[in-house]
Amino acid sequence: MKDKLATLCLSEEAALKGLFLGPQAENSQWVSAQINALLNSWFEWRRSFRPGDGRAVSSADMESADYIKRRQHTDDVLQELASRFEQEIPKFSPRYIGHMFSETSLPALFGHILTLLHNPNNISGESSWVGVTVEEEAITALAQMMGFRKGIGHFTSGGTIANFEAVYRARTRCVNWMAAGLEQGCCSAFASAAMGYRSYNEISHGVKASAERLNPFEGNPFIAAQEISQKIGRDFLGPVLLIPEHKHYSWTKSAHVFGLGAEALWPVQLDAHGHLDIQDLKRQIRRAQLEDRPIVMVVSVLGTTELGMIDPIHEVQELLDMYRHVEGWHIWHHVDAAYGGFLCSLKGENQEVSGVLSEQSLKAIEAMGRATSVTIDPHKLGYVPYSSGAFITADEKDYYQRSFGAPYVNFSVNKDKGPFTLEGSRSAAGAVATWMTAQCVGFSQEGYGRLIARTIRLRKEMEEVLRENVPNIRVAPSGDANLLGFCVAQPGDSLQKVNERTLRLYETFAADNHSDFFISKTRIYKKCYSRYFENVVSSWQGRIDADELVLARICIMNPFFKTKEMNVDFQDLFVQSLQERVRGLDSLKI
């Protein structure tokens, strides 16, 4: 018999258990009561608005046959739909360790549901009085968590659009500066595009107005390029984005969407640990200068989508600061923290929480507030329902770049973000859900910090038990967060063989409700991950006869993955399950 006291969890952890429904819907009574209360106040709100207007649906209506029939039909359809959704991936279960989603937090869910009832459109204050204010407050909370003094931004449907918001603004700033500089007589597109606000503001309005024809994204890009070529004395090939090789695929989309062309994405190499290589970044900046290609932005990643790696954001910022001081180049630094932004909640005095991150990672996180802009997805590590992403800049000037008015919307001059957002109609739900988590979970070490630190500790433990118990397991090194990639390789195995084994292994985790666990997989390309790739394959002295390495991938996000109170130790069970699968593949000689 276990000691009764030992099975009780720490009081802080007990408090966190109120934040999620629980795998067996343990908190269902409270959730029902809260949702009922929300519905009731929503009903009351209607009833109290001009009650003298009277009722539209009478008792007689409600008794009519057609009314009853139509309602019955809706009931049936809804029930059927609900049972279809029961075939969905059981994301709430600790057995789901596949992609970067899990249970959503209850405060977020309540906020989301309440917003759906009111259905505000945050395109402007005219259509959403409360929603836009709550959005501001949520942005401020996110910005503060990430270390910005103030921060200005808005919610998006996700990280992809938030990254687009960054490219859109940085591209506008870059070409405005470039065009003005060239028009004023500077003969370097690169230097003009990095002149900074002070120099730009000193340029007279006359010059800025006539420079507009040199902006490839306002008029005709081909005519603009011809004129720029004349001014710089060489063929103008357009601006570039410097982005590390482990980038999310939304960056590739952005090059197409914004008409930059795929060639404009200049990759920055990774080091042997899979992080952005600062020396190569330096080389790429020099190359841009030599080839006279303006730099739209430099991107670093906080928490890669593949393996949760954290780039040396502090070193990138220091390098760019150095260029600003020494050369006068103002280069936009965007941090793609779609996945890892909430890791900033681990910062602070409590070593038990911050200590799960490496010193390098902590330094990277500390430097976030010095970047020009960031992307963060509350619908990932923020445990907020879809869709909830955000784009934030440190400086207002970088936020308010190019605007578009709409004749039918009353945009108030100072407040509305509407004329500046890529999206038009925007639900307030993602912002409100995030706001609720800021209030009720907290973006500090005592809230999200504790929760996320726990998932990182679990990833580390998992890494250890896999290494100890699964023969020939090769864990991809230097995962900085709660993602883990691995394959099974005997010494000397060829890469093709290992990849086939990993794919077969992945397939044994069937993608239906009957699997004992749910995992994901990813591919690491030799071309992109070069030194890291070699580093991983050399761990089993593998023969490189393929251009990619397939990795089984798990993401431990579920807050109940290791809970003493449950009947199952999911960590043990997963290891056993993996052992059996590997033995099965061994016996088939795969």
**Gap between the Cα atoms of 115 and 95, Å rounded:** 30
The answer for residues whose C-beta is within 8 angstroms of residue 117's C-beta and 6 or more apart is 38, 39, 42
* Closest to 200 measured CA to CA, from 218, 225, 220, 175: 175
Q: Give min distance, CB of 378 to ligand PLP, in A.
A: 10
Applying CB under 6 A, does 426 fall inside the site for ligand PLP? no
Instruction: Mark residues 357-396: x for contact with ligand PLP by CB under 6 A, - for none.
Output: --------------------x-----------x-------
Residue type at 280 in one-letter notation: D
Among 22, 98, 151, 159, binds ligand PLP (CB under 6 A): 159
Q: Which is nearer to ligand PLP, 168 or 190 (CB)?
A: 168
Q: Which stretch binds ligand PLP (CB under 6 A): 80-88, 228-236, 335-343, 469-477?
A: 335-343
For ligand PLP, the binding residues in 216-275 under the rule CB under 6 A are: 248, 250
Among 228, 335, 338, 488, binds ligand PLP (CB under 6 A): 338
Q: Which is nearer to ligand PLP, 31 or 89 (CB)?
A: 89
Residue type at 286 in one-letter notation: R
Q: Which stretch binds ligand PLP (CB under 6 A): 159-167, 197-205, 365-373, 498-506?
A: 159-167
**Gap between the Cα atoms of 330 and 435, Å rounded:** 33
Q: Give min distance, CB of 387 to ligand PLP, in A.
A: 7
Q: Which is nearer to ligand PLP, 32 or 252 (CB)?
A: 252
Q: Which is nearer to ligand PLP, 154 or 248 (CB)?
A: 248
| Helical (H) or strand (E) element with 389 | strand 389-393
Q: Give min distance, CB of 247 to ligand PLP, in A.
A: 8
For ligand PLP, the binding residues in 295-334 under the rule CB under 6 A are: 301, 304-305
**Helix, strand or coil for residue 317?**
helix
Q: Which is nearer to ligand PLP, 246 or 501 (CB)?
A: 246
Distance from the first to the final alpha carbon of the chain: 43
User: Prior bond to 387 cis, omega within 30?
Assistant: yes
Contact 143, 166 (CB under 8 A): no
**Gap between the Cα atoms of 93 and 163, Å rounded:** 31
* Closest to 479 measured CA to CA, from 306, 307, 342, 343: 307
Contact 262, 252 (CB under 8 A): yes
| Helical (H) or strand (E) element with 464 | helix 450-469
Q: Give min distance, CB of 389 to ligand PLP, in A.
A: 5
User: Which value, in Å, is the radius of gyration of the alpha carbons in the chain?
Assistant: 27
Which residue's Cβ lies closest to ligand PLP? 159
Among 101, 110, 329, 339, binds ligand PLP (CB under 6 A): 339
Q: Give min distance, CB of 581 to ligand PLP, in A.
A: 28
**Gap between the Cα atoms of 54 and 52, Å rounded:** 5
The residues that touch ligand PLP, with contacts defined as CB under 6 A, are: 158-160, 163, 248, 250, 301, 304-305, 336, 338-339, 377, 389
